């Protein structure tokens, strides 16, 4: 999430009761979790395992629970509980804002767009020109819909991210991180009936221009889908994953988190993707591998009983 304008570290330190190590005259431009940080961002870390990753990331300001020297051009904000500090900042800039109308007064709908009955459009939503939004669609706060977009009945755009802070030393092990990200659906994309697209935890979930999603697909938080991708029914994609332009996923493919599927790759139905995939290849299986290799393997698996019978015949002749 980018702040409306740069915010001084001194003000932030007072909000979260933090001690600043480093230059107090800096200003932060946003807050993000580690997968999406960039220069000017705040990030939090509360486990020694991830200290180095956060400190050496693009983030300029680190909310941390251990005093240590700040690297050059960075600052540390030391607090007892960095996760709670993160939540305080997010809730300050994106407080819960109830909406009792089907269309929020802060929503903007472009000319020649048609919205069917029983569509909910939340706060600060922007819908472009020439869109069709079918019945029972839900578009949550801060989502951005481009021009010439079609969203079929029952889709949910901007649902809460499935993302939790884990600490097994407290009564509630999994504590939800408040969302402050968005969903951006670019021009000429189509979203099928019953799809669910989670908002980013602190950045954006993006559906690229011209991409087409079939029915009953789930897209996890902070996932970026490129332009002109084709995704068939019942695909599930976990959080912070990247699909580059022209990727095709056929029905019931499952894609794990924080990986990249490169341009024009094709994954055949019911496959499981657990790691990065190269561009322009066809994949199949769970875990996936080159489709031809996998299909040859399946042929040999089917021949195992026949081969075993031949082995037993030879053994009996000895």
Residue 149: pLDDT band with limits 50, 70, 90: very high
Q: Are residues 127 and 22 in the same domain?
A: no
CATH for 50: 3.40.1390.10
Under the banding of pLDDT at 50, 70 and 90, the label for residue 236 is very high
Q: For residue range 153-166, what is the model confidence (pLDDT) as tens digits?
A: 999 999 999 999 88
Average pLDDT of every residue of the chain: 93
Domain span holding position 169: 108-293
Q: Is the pLDDT of residue 15 over 80?
A: yes
User: Which is more confident, 178 or 191?
Assistant: 191
- State the total domains in the chain: 2
Note the pLDDT of residue 318. Answer: 67
* Cα atoms in the 13 Å half-sphere on the side-chain side of 311: 6
pLDDT digits (tens, 9 = 90+) for 90-105: 999 999 888 889 999 9
- Tell me whether residue 32 is in a domain: yes
Please tell me the pTM assigned to this model: 0.91
Q: What is the rounded distance in angstroms from the CA atom of residue 309 to the CA atom of residue 112?
A: 69
Asked if residue 191 is part of any domain, the answer here is yes
- 86 and 112 part of one domain: no
- Asked, for residue 312, whether it belongs to a domain, the answer is no
pLDDT of 80: 94
> Which tokens sit at 140?
């949550």
CATH number at residue 131: 2.160.10.10
For residues 184-204, average pLDDT: 97
Q: With pLDDT > 70 as the criterion, what percentage of the chain qualifies?
A: 100
Interval 40-67 mean pLDDT: 92
115 and 77 both lie in a single domain: no
260 inside domain:
yes
Q: Is residue 318 part of a domain?
A: no
Instruction: Specify whether 21 is located in the same domain as 160.
Output: no
Residues 249 and 152 in one domain: yes
Does 178 lie in the same domain as 46? no
Distances (CA, A) of 276 to 35, 240, 262, 279, 306: 16, 13, 8, 10, 36
Tens-digit pLDDT profile for residues 266-289: 999 999 999 999 999 999 999 999
Same domain, yes or no, for 7 and 75?
A: yes
Active-site positions? 221
Q: Does 300 fall in a domain?
A: no
pLDDT at 316: 76
Over residues 209-236, the mean pLDDT reads 98
Residues 125 and 268 in one domain: yes
Q: Are residues 269 and 164 part of one domain?
A: yes
pLDDT at 204 over 80: yes
Q: Is residue 24 part of a domain?
A: yes
* Same domain flag for 46 and 154: no
pLDDT of residue 170: 83
Q: Are residues 73 and 180 located together in one domain of the fold?
A: no
φ and ψ at residue 170, rounded to 5 degrees: -120, 170
* pLDDT(299) > 90: no
Determine the pLDDT at residue 217: 98
Residues 26 and 161 in one domain: no
């Amino acid at each position: 999430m980018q702040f409306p304008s740069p915010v001084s570290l001194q003000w932030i330190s007072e909000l979260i009761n933090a001690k600043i190590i480093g230059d107090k005259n800096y200003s932060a431009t946003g807050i993000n979790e580690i997968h999406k940080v960039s220069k000017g961002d705040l990030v939090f870390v509360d486990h020694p395992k991830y200290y180095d990753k956060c400190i050496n990331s693009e983030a300029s300001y680190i909310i941390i629970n251990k005093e240590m020297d700040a690297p050059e051009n960075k600052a540390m904000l030391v607090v007892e509980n960095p996760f709670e500090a993160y939540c305080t900042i997010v809730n300050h800039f994106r407080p819960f804002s109830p909406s009792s109308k089907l269309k929020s007064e802060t929503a903007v709908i472009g000319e020649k767009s048609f919205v069917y009955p029983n569509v909910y459009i939340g706060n600060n939503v922007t819908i472009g020109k020439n869109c069709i939004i079918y019945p029972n669609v839900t578009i949550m706060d801060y989502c951005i819909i481009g021009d010439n977009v079609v969203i079929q009945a029952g889709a949910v755009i901007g649902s809460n991210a499935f993302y939790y802070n884990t600490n097994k030393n407290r009564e509630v092990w999994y504590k939800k991180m408040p969302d402050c990200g968005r969903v951006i659906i670019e021009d000429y994309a189509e979203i099928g009936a019953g799809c669910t697209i989670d908002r980013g935890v602190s950045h954006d979930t993006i559906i690229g221009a011209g991409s087409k999603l079939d029915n009953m697909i789930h897209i996890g938080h902070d996932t970026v889908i490129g332009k002109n991708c084709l995704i068939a029914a019942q695909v599930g994609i976990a959080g912070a994953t990247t699909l580059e332009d022209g990727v095709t996923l056929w029905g019931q493919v499952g894609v794990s988190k924080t990986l990249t599927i490169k341009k024009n790759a094709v994954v055949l139905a019911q496959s499981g993707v657990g790691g990065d995939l190269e561009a322009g290849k066809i994949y199949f299986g769970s875990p996936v591998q080159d489709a031809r290799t996998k299909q040859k393997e399946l042929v040999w698996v089917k021949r195992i009983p026949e081969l075993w019978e031949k082995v037993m015949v030879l053994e009996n002749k000895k």
